[in-house]
Amino acid sequence: MSGAREAPIRVSEIFGPTIQGEGVLIGLPTIFVRTGGCDYRCSWCDSLHAVDSEYRDQWLPMTVDGIWADVTRLSGGKPLMVSLSGGNPAIQPLGGLIAHGHAQGYKFALETQGSVAKEWFADLDVLVLSPKPPSSGMATDWDAFDDCLRLAGNGPAIALKIVVFDDRDYAYAREAAARYPDLSVYLQPGNHTPPPPDDDDARVDIDGIMDRMLWLVDKVAEDRWFEARVLPQLHVLLWGNKRGV
């Protein structure tokens, strides 16, 4: 294995097996590799421990071999789906990890906001592109987003996932979906209550999330937007914003 010669991957946490809590793979048994660092600062980010440089000293520079030892131990050697998340995992050198895991029968899903494109996107099994709506405070670079799609090509299954808090976010989601009519679309009611990252008992406003979910379901039904699927974050309903589940 050549992992030791490759650039290290900054890892915030590796955990599982658990279920994928959102989007196209919801409910699927999954091992998570969460990388550290992000080029965005969304106002409602629920993963600040993998974003804010304040937590940088908790991100371990790991080789492919080191990450893989954890993945195989957690999965008991059974080739599960490995979800590459962050932060923005696209800023890490993950091509070698994907090739290594594929050789052992594992599959890889990656979620990114679509701001950084990599050649190795083509090697993924699932690519979830999650452009951030106005409530995030971030502006979408659609040229970079298009680059992500171009480099992914026909390799992975690709889905759009958009968090929606309000009417402006909903309008943004409609525009994004219209821009990419061939992609499946997942809408997710926003979670307004990011906890302090070290809070192990991270409660969230479940009533608020469910109110937003009902509002969103009504919106897509009224608009006859039948291509969109509306899903909550299952892991948030089960465990709040707790880390490592």
Under the rule (CB under 6 A), what is the footprint of ligand SF4?
38, 40-42, 45, 47, 51, 86-88, 113, 132
Which sign, positive or negative, has the C-alpha torsion 203, 129, 161, 171?
positive
Q: Which two tokens stand for residue 244?
A: 């490592």
- From 21, 9, 10, 18, select the one nearest 240 (Cα to Cα): 21
Closest to ligand SF4 by CB, 75 or 240: 240
Helix (H, G, I), strand (E, B) or coil at 215: helix
Pick 71 or 163: Cβ nearer ligand SF4 = 163
Q: How far is the CB of 239 from ligand SF4 (least distance, A)?
A: 18
As measured in angstroms, the least distance from the Cβ of 26 to ligand SF4 is: 18
Report the residue number, 63 or 169, with the smaller CB distance to ligand SF4. Answer: 169
Q: How far is the CB of 192 from ligand SF4 (least distance, A)?
A: 13
**CB 238, min distance to ligand SF4, A:** 20
CA distances from 168 to 108, 133, 134, 135, 136 (A): 32, 8, 7, 8, 11
Contact 11, 32 (CB under 8 A): no
Distance of closest approach, residue 135 Cβ to ligand SF4, in angstroms? 11
User: What pairs with residue 85 in β-bridges?
Assistant: 34
Which CB sits closer to ligand SF4, 75 or 112? Answer: 112
Residues in the chain: 245
Which of 132/174 has CB closer to ligand SF4? 132
Query: Is residue 172 helix, strand or coil?
Result: helix
